[in-house]
Amino acid sequence: MLLRLSTGALRITERLLQVKDSIEIADAIVILAGGNGARERHAAELYHQGYAPVLVIFWATTEVLGHTVHLTRLACHHLKEAGVPTEAIQLSSEHVRTTYDEARQFATLAQTRGWKKAIVVSDACHSRRAALTFRKSLRGLPVQVMMSPCGRTLTARDDLAMETKLFHVFFEYVKLLYYFARGRLA
């Protein structure tokens, strides 16, 4: 009974973090760093369906057990495995650490390229903060952001323990509050 209650509460709190917009043809598909390949696979599907001619990925790294992991190289690998040609991949010029960094870099890129519409791909649990952050960074620019989250929700995943799901949802709410306090949300 308690497990069903906690699963139900998790499902509701996770749903509040999600934004899934109707998407239409765009100038670029933006893939936020930090996924496990699902973001790139979803973006590749959108690319192959003709939603945009360019996929934007950001220069990002992370530390795992004292080793630097190049998230950008992994993203390129996943995209190439999914059949995306190298010339369709646009790499950011500066290293990013946060969603806020990605949104600011994309705003500059969109303004430089004259892009008017972008599809942003991230995980469902991360989509609300990403949407609010990108919309804030693009404020004043004529650029429409459409969120297209990838993969299954955390509550739908059987490969994760309940504690892991709760941690991810809780941590996303902490990040959302932090971004709100720092004035990074629309």
Cα(7)–Cα(23) distance, integer angstroms: 30
pLDDT in tens, 108-119: 999 999 999 999
| Integer Rg of the chain from CA | 16
Confidence band for 5, pLDDT divided at 50, 70 and 90 = very low
Residue 157: per-residue pLDDT: 66
More confident residue, 169 or 103: 103
Read off the pLDDT of each residue in 101-126 and give the average, rounded to a whole number.
96
Residue written as tokens 């929700």? 153
More confident residue, 3 or 33: 33
Given a cut of 50, is residue 21 above it in pLDDT?
yes
Instruction: Determine the length of the chain.
Output: 186
Read off the pLDDT of each residue in 54-77 and give the average, rounded to a whole number.
92
Which domains are assigned to the chain? 17-152+160-181 (3.40.50.620)
More confident residue, 159 or 99: 99
Given a cut of 80, is residue 19 above it in pLDDT?
yes
CB 34 within 8 A of CB 68: no
pLDDT in tens, 128-144: 999 999 999 999 999 99
Burial of 86 (0-12, 13-18, 19+ CB in 10 A): exposed
Nearest to 126 by CA among 92, 161, 154: 154
Residue written as tokens 């992370």? 62
